[in-house]
Amino acid sequence: MRNPAMMQARKPGARAKGSPDRQVALRRFKAEVFQALAHPTRIHIAECLQGGELPVSVLIDRIGIEPANLSQHLAVLRAKGLVVNRKEGTQVFYALRDPLLSEVLANMRQYFQAHVEEALQILREL
């Protein structure tokens, strides 16, 4: 017997919230975010911005890379919507688009630490 709640009329072509198409799109979005963070310099940039907005000149000093290299990494983060920028006079300031990214980075750090400690324990037992 069919569930009455599932028998509601849908618009032609409409998909359920948990439809395979939406799940694929969500997985693709997650993969794109992780791809944007798949470089140590981009993670460093995001970590620097956790405390708030910074001008490019400060990012260059903190990260220690050439301006052109920083610009390329910021372009990737901007294209994926992870950072936003604004211009004030001749300076460009960057900030994390959403503070939730800080939580993602903190969770990744905890995951790494948990597994590093586990790997070190295995090595000690050898």
Q: Where are the domains of the chain?
A: 22-125
Note the CATH number of domain 22-125.
Answer: 1.10.10.10
Task: Please give the share of the chain, as a percent, with pLDDT higher than 70.
Answer: 86
With a CB cutoff of 8 Å and minimum separation 6, the contacts of 82 are 33, 36, 37, 46, 96, 97, 101
12-56 confidence digits (pLDDT tens): 555 556 788 999 999 999 999 999 999 999 999 999 999 999 999
